[in-house]
Structure 1
């Protein structure tokens, strides 16, 4: 965590500029990281790809649907529509939780796992080109560390606000 003296050395304009640059960088880089991700040449929007990758990296290639919706920043309704589309294309199946009837898992099918692995390979190549090359290994590690701090701080703030309701 930064000290109070550190915070006082940053002007309001510096802080606004920093955050604006971060947003511009993310907006400019994100489309580059999805270019050609779907080996079939179809449009693989950010949330679709994000769902496949998160499931591919999860134990048993499945997660509770509510958790997955939260992690990809979609509303329950928006995620349901996306899950329906993925299921229609044969990439995902819904599985009931045997111990809790309220929980439904989204799980990759074999076809979904194969697509996720192909997409991941392409995504990693794009990350190396558009993130690792300009930032270097130390820059990538520093970015991950700072992003983790922001994420964790934001989660604490959200939990605190929810408890006050």
Structure 2
């Protein structure tokens, strides 16, 4: 390691990660906007679509996204008005409720996903050979589990299912 703190490879690693994240977010946000969704609304729909029963408890949805519990409530309120999500009472805990994707929400995702997958392939996964991509995905899971252990909260039913967006 260099004696020059500004040349520390740890700073380079984090800087590169944020530059990639920012670039991908900009490309994805433009595409979501064309479909009338914000990036967080797309993330919520994807989390629900990929969860058992197409539903998550509101607290688990907050854990899996970058939103606070009150932030999830506001997003779900808005998406409920647009008929993309509905709420369902939790039968075992009256204080909890589930966010559930509706058929309209699934249809919206079906409209967006072909173009979104093309962008992912063009600007992300398609840039790496299969072996590098597999190693990279394993590394991302390791990092995600360390910094955000709640990221898969509520994503398992009787068997362990990992929900990644």
Q: Deviations over 1:134-159 (max 9, x none)?
A: 22322322221111111122246xxx
| CA distance in 2: counterparts of 1:49 and 1:150, whole angstroms | 23
For residue 20 of structure 1, what is the aligned residue in structure 2?
15
Residue range with higher mean Cα deviation, 94-103 or 27-36: 27-36
Counterpart contact for 1:33–1:130, Cα < 8 Å? no
Aligned-pair CA distance for 1:104? 0.2
> Where does structure 1 lack aligned partners over 5 or more consecutive residues?
1-8, 157-165
Q: Deviations over 1:91-149 (max 9, x none)?
A: 00000011221220000111111112222232211111111222232232222111111
| CA distance in 2: counterparts of 1:57 and 1:155, whole angstroms | 18
Secondary structure, counterpart of 2:31 in structure 1: coil
For residue 163 of structure 2, what is the aligned residue in structure 1?
none
The answer on 1:31 being equivalent to 2:26 is yes
For residue 5 of structure 1, what is the aligned residue in structure 2?
none
Query: CA RMSD of the aligned region, Å?
Result: 2.0
For residue 61 of structure 1, what is the aligned residue in structure 2?
54
Secondary structure, counterpart of 2:56 in structure 1: strand
Aligned length, in residue pairs: 146
Larger radius of gyration: 1
Residue range with higher mean Cα deviation, 96-105 or 10-19: 10-19
| CA distance in 2: counterparts of 1:59 and 1:114, whole angstroms | 18
Counterpart contact for 2:28–2:39, Cα < 8 Å? no
Counterpart contact for 1:53–1:120, Cα < 8 Å? no
The answer on 1:108 being equivalent to 2:101 is yes
Aligned-pair CA distance for 1:10? 8.0
For residue 65 of structure 2, what is the aligned residue in structure 1?
72
Secondary structure, counterpart of 2:66 in structure 1: coil
| Bigger fraction of residues in helix | 1
> Where does structure 2 lack aligned partners over 5 or more consecutive residues?
150-165
Aligned-pair CA distance for 1:69? 1.3
Counterpart contact for 2:85–2:100, Cα < 8 Å? yes
